[in-house]
Amino acid sequence: MKIVKRFISVLVLSLVLVSCGDQKSELDGLSFKEQLQVLFPKATIDSIKVNNHFTNAFELTLAQPLDHNDNKAGTFEHHIYVSHSAYNKPTVLITEGYNARPQTYELTSILKANQVMVEYRFYGKSRPKTIPWQYLKNDAAVEDYHAIVTKLKRLYKGKWLSTGISKGGETVMIYKSKYPEDIDVAVPYVAPLINTQEDPRTNELINSVGTATCRENIQNFQRAVLNNRKEVLKIFKKYAKERKIAFTKMPIEEALEHAVLEFPFSFWQWGSKCEDIPAATANAEELFSYLKRVAGFYLFSDAGIYNYLPSFYQHMTELGYYGYDFAPVKGMLKHVKTTSLACFGPQDVDLTYNPNYIKEVRDYVENKGGKILYIYGGYDPWGACAPNPKEGVDALKMVLEGGSHGTRIKHFSKEDQQKIYDKLQAWLGKEVKLFPIK
């Protein structure tokens, strides 16, 4: 009798296990959009244009927690873009540093992968009318990524990669340091890890790259603009009036000086050509046109200050930034009084800098950050703040000689591209196919 009872118990347990093993996922048999609705039941899901190799694409508006550890804090509207290729393909997470504009990233194209683009909290369409600054922290953004990736891994079970450009690339490294198991391979592009609110390494690079003649011409140009301040400013005011560009938060006279101070950084950052620099004897129109072309004035306008306000809050409190070099224009400034760019951050909140935050990220990626591919341009000032993985760390740092902030894998030589592809293949496995760059 005991044997019979034991047999029945084992049989019942076996049936339960078989039943559990055969249990279908709630995602089975649903369309891709329906699957997203199951994973994000409170989200608004709208179709967007399908480009390139994708078969479906949607914009999701999430009710994202302001604080993932305290639901009582409330939520904000968070916009992400999910572009579907195939369930068996890798998935690339785009950690945007600012606004998100749907586009296909280089890494996604190389893998013909699925792509999940996440707008940074409190930027672009994800910006509340009033920013709750205490929740604009990198760790909070990392929790956004972790929550999104955790849900989507129920759908995409293959390899996961993360990538981003500049501040977005910095976010790639931050995320990797906080949740190293979330992502298989990280690919930050032209991403700095900055030491202080005014990291001196950017100016050290600016004063060393290129030729001595080119660097001298850059400084001569800065002085020429200020020597012709009255005439250049007259053209600037006309330009702003015609295009209805407002300078009420920062007077246009001060904006001109900021553009002059910004000029060397922008020159090298965006790969300007030394032979294009106007001579110091150029007229005011030529000086203004070239300053507008290289440094631009948007950042100093009302619209620019508004759009980049969240960025400067982050730079001043956790990420760090660079400072101006006054030496080339010593004694010529009338409005800009400090080398710091803290004036672009919100003025009614605490901007105390935390020196340990990025230090901890750097310690991780340099000493433990395996399977990270770094892409940099040799003349990009942000590259002066790049991490350097220690010997024995399975990472690859590629620096394009003379490259700018726009450096991508496609800009490297065929030999270097092959080196990059070989490393990605080794990390992802032979079952993942990599496609040529077009």
335-373, pLDDT tens digit by residue?
999 999 999 999 999 999 999 999 999 999 999 999 999
- Greater confidence (19 vs 141) lies with 141
Quick one: which of 228, 234, 222 has its CA closest to 324? 222
Give the pLDDT confidence score for residue 112 in this predicted structure: 98
Q: Is the pLDDT of residue 321 over 60?
A: yes
342-351, pLDDT tens digit by residue?
999 999 999 9
Q: Is the pLDDT of residue 6 over 80?
A: no
297-315, pLDDT tens digit by residue?
999 999 999 999 999 999 9
Indicate the residue type of 346: P
The mean pLDDT of 140-148, rounded to a whole number, is: 98
11-24, pLDDT tens digit by residue?
343 333 333 444 45
Using CB atoms within 10 A of its CB, is residue 184 exposed (0-12), middle (13-18) or buried (19+)?
middle
Give the pLDDT confidence score for residue 438 in this predicted structure: 80
Mean pLDDT, rounded, of the chain: 94
What share of the chain has pLDDT > 90, as a percent? 94
Three-state helix/strand/coil letters over the chain: CHHHHHHHHHHHHHHHHHHHHHCCCCCCCCCHHHHHHHHCCCCEEEECCCCCCCCEEEEEEEEEECCCCCHHHCEEEEEEEEEECCCCCCEEEEECCCCCCCCCCHHHHHHCCEEEEECCCCCHHHCCCCCCHHHCCHHHHHHHHHHHHHHHCCCCCCCEEEEEECHHHHHHHHHHHHCCCCCCEEEEECCCCCCCCCCCHHHHHHCCCCCHHHHHHHHHHHHHHHHCHHHHHHHHHHHHHHCCCCCCCCCHHHHHHHHHHHHHHHHHHCCCCHHHCCCCCCCHHHHHHHHHHHCCCHHHCHHHHHHHHHHHHHHHHHHCCCCCCCHHHCCCCCCCCCCCCHHHCCCCCCCCCCCHHHHHHHHHHHHCCCCEEEEEECCCHHHHHCCCCCCCCCCEEEEECCCCCCCCHHHCCHHHHHHHHHHHHHHHCCCCCCCCCC
Q: Is the pLDDT of residue 295 over 70?
A: yes
Q: Is the pLDDT of residue 419 over 50?
A: yes
pLDDT band at 25 (very low <50, low <70, confident <90, very high): confident
Give the pLDDT confidence score for residue 233 in this predicted structure: 98
Torsion of Cα atoms, 271 then 100 then 125 then 353, to 10°? -60
Q: Is the pLDDT of residue 191 over 70?
A: yes
77-129, pLDDT tens digit by residue?
999 999 999 999 999 999 999 999 999 999 999 999 999 999 999 999 999 99
pLDDT band at 37 (very low <50, low <70, confident <90, very high): very high
Q: Is the pLDDT of residue 253 over 70?
A: yes
Give the pLDDT confidence score for residue 24 in this predicted structure: 57
Quick one: which of 151, 47, 184 has its CA closest to 102? 47
Global confidence as pTM: 0.93
Q: Is the pLDDT of residue 2 over 90?
A: no
54-90, pLDDT tens digit by residue?
999 999 999 999 999 999 999 999 999 999 999 999 9
Quick one: which of 157, 32, 138 has its CA closest to 82? 32
Tally the residues of the chain.
438
